[in-house]
Structure 1
Amino acid sequence: MYFSVVVPTYQDSKLCLLLDALGKQTLDFKFWEVIIVNNDPENSIVLNQSYGFPITMETETKAGSYAARNKGLKTAKGEVMAFTDSDMLPDANWLEIAYTRFQEDKNRELGILTGPVPLFFKNPNKLTAAEVYEKYTGFDFESYAKEGACGAGNWFSYKSVMEEFGGFREDLKSNGDTELSLRISKKHKVVYVPELVNRHPARYTTAELVFRYRRILGGVYTRRFQGDKFGFFKHVLGFVWRRYRFALKKFFTVPLHESVAIFMVCNAINLGAVKEYWGLVNGGETRR
């Protein structure tokens, strides 16, 4: 057993699509396992078909994807951990490319191996306002890697490295992958491989995007600004300004219907950011 693919899931109906994509992997099934960690203990997960690779089902009662990933880490039999999200679609050679790169790592210098996370859309010819916004923002895992950071949607690490750093911080609902990867990068290499592709669905509705950014702000608050209301206020103010600056620039660079959509989405995101700030500094809970 070389890879343990850990998939945290919380009320996600798209899990079967990920498992179908994993079933098309070119790396022999005998080299890897899948660990599905259900983070919604009130609802069990039932798989309606069997797969050629081994699947272990676990449950994590503590809310949060990082607690779920740590549960998978404890269960894993593989030498290398592969983290992905339950709604993603890895390319068929995803595991094989990672296997080749780890086999080349004779001195075990790799801390994290990562690659691109391109977006895919429900109907590429008819994008919603949220999808238009995501088309111009998306994920830039190459830039993340240059800064020593990585998102948990496309992340490979030796299990020993994950254990060395204590896994993910379970008190974080967001930003836990950034926090851990930055710690790992101080001692080990974070390597970006352009061929290591794992695709992510674009958010379809503006409400989904607002929720995403409120989660991110919650993670930043827990990680950096608890007890520092003024510091968090400046961070949120900068966040709001960057959204509006981005939206205004798009009026000069993209078609009018897209720039209007982007502005409306940015306005909704910023309103959500202000609400999140007010809730958190007044003792509210971060979002999962």
Structure 2
Amino acid sequence: MASKVSVIIPCFNASRHVLRAVESVLEQTWLDLELICVDNNSSDDTLDILRTRLKEVPNAMVLSEKKKGASAARNRGLKEASGNWIQFLDADDFLMPRKISTQVELLESEEEKEISFVIGNSIKESFDGNRKEIIYDAKDPWVSIVRLEIGNTCSNLFNKNYLSQIGGWNEELKSSQEFDLMFRLLQCNDKVLFDSVANTVVVATENSINFTDLPGNISRIIEVQRRIKAHLVSVNASPELLGLLDNMIFSKVRELANFDYRLAKTHHDALFERDFIPDGEEFGVSSSYSKVYQKFGFSVAQKTQKIYSFIK
């Protein structure tokens, strides 16, 4: 099995952290790899730092991409990649030394060779430096994506062939790009592997769109969830899986209502029939909320909950 890995790092004003990401790649125990750094209109000295550090490093290149956005930079790197497998790495994040080796060895031990991607666990590093392992006990890729537990851009390892088949990253999305990408990969080929070891450190950054545009981010997650639902309905997915997805979407709609009620109501009315009953046990829906919702609908249930929270 050919197992050359291309590591692609999109970089925008990443001078503070990019060398940590680069060094984590150069320290990988898997040796059959190339490193592709793509500068994306940085106004600091990111480009100079990369060129200086990598000028004598074999199998490393520094590129530039003028179209703004990490997705465009990743796609540029993907076009130049010669590896069979793709490791994306954000400039703020970094890999443990055996990250790539662990996942390639997992692939090489698998009888099924047409794997679209490896789903990996990760370590979240907060603003204050505290770390927490994010471990998912996953067995089914569709359950994983429905639960929003399908790894992330940097913890996963992607088959270049299937990335090419789906056209790479959607460069028009402002957020939820990885959620969209992995959904399209599963549509193309839902044979995946699960790596139980957390070998990727994902570092929280203040300029992440997940923090700066939270309502927009939630809404875009819901949009992808709507597409997942349409797909699962079309392939006659089990009632249990569809029910789980409905409750996951409902949870996101309620979360969005805290920031933009009108947009949340629009999503709700487009997605849920009047006879929908939210599941309270797993999704934080109280029995009183569920009763009000079933009798009076979403608007009254949300307003009642808000009043109760205020007087509580």
TM-score greater than 0.5 by the shorter chain: yes
Pairs within 5 Å for 1:58-207: 58-121=63-126, 123=128, 146-148=143-145, 149-186=150-187, 187-203=189-205
The one of the two structures with greater contact order (alpha-carbon pairs below 8 A, sep at least 6) is 1
CA distance in 2, matches of 1:210, 1:123: 16
How far apart are 1:114 and its partner, in Å? 2.3
- Contact 1:41-1:61 within 8 A present in 2 as well: no
Secondary structure at the counterpart of residue 197 of structure 2: coil
Identical counterparts, % of pairs: 18
Provide closer, same or farther for how the CA distance between residues 106 and 93 of structure 1 changes in structure 2, counting only shifts above 3 A: same
Q: Deviations over 1:206-252 (max 9, x none)?
A: 99863163562364477579xxxxxxxx98751146xxxxxxxxxxx
Question: What is the letter of the counterpart of residue 152 of structure 2?
Answer: G
Tell me how far 1:56 sits from its aligned partner: 1.2
8 Å CA contact retained: 1:141, 1:151: no
2:25 pairs with 6, 22, 28, which one?
Answer: 22
The DSSP-based 3-state class of the residue aligned with 2:121 is: coil
Are 2:254 and 1:238 equivalent residues in the alignment? yes
1:172 counterpart SS class: coil
Give the equivalent residue in structure 1 for 2:235: none
- State the shift of 1:33 in Å: 0.6
Rate the CA distance shift 1:208–1:180 in 2: closer, same or farther, 3 A. Answer: closer
> Matches of 1:68 and 1:57 in 2, distance apart?
11
Deviations, residues 250-280 of structure 1 (Å, cap 9, x unaligned): xxxxxxxxxxxxxxxxxxxx5xx449x69xx
Give 3-state SS (helix, strand or coil) of 2:53's partner.
coil
Distance 1:40 1:140, change over 3 A: farther
Code of the aligned partner of 2:33: W
2: CA distance between counterparts of 1:78 and 1:123? 36
Counterpart Cα distance in 2 of 1:24 and 1:151:
21
**Preserved CA contact (<8 Å) 1:150 1:181:** no
TM-score by length of structure 1 reads 0.66
Offset at residue 153 of structure 1 (A) = 2.1
Match of 2:53 in 1: 49
Q: Is the 8 A contact 2:121 2:151 kept in 1?
A: no
- Matches of 2:170 and 2:207, distance apart in 1: 29
SS in 2 for 1:92: coil
| Structure 1 residue ranges without an equivalent (≥5) | 226-233, 242-269, 279-288
Contact 1:82 1:156 in 2 (8 A): yes
Query: Paired residue for 1:255?
Result: none
Provide structure 2 residue ranges, at least 5 long, that are not aligned to the other structure.
Answer: 227-249, 265-312
SS of 1:86 mapped into structure 2: coil
Paired with 2:122 and 2:39, the residues of 1 have a C-alpha distance of 23
CA-atom RMSD in angstroms: 3.7
3-state SS of the aligned residue for 1:197? strand
For residues 24 and 64 of structure 1, do their structure 2 counterparts lie closer, same or farther at Cα, with a shift above 3 Å needed? same
TM-score normalised over the length of structure 2: 0.61
Q: Which entry has the higher C-alpha Rg, 1 or 2?
A: 2
Task: Name the CA shift for 1:214/1:22 in 2 (closer, same or farther; >3 Å).
Answer: farther
User: 1:222–1:64: structure 2 CA closer, same or farther, 3 Å change rule?
Assistant: farther
Cα separation, 1, equivalents of 2:256 and 2:137: 25
Matched residues in 2 for 1:17 and 1:197: separation? Answer: 15
Q: Displacement of 1:17 after TM fit?
A: 0.7
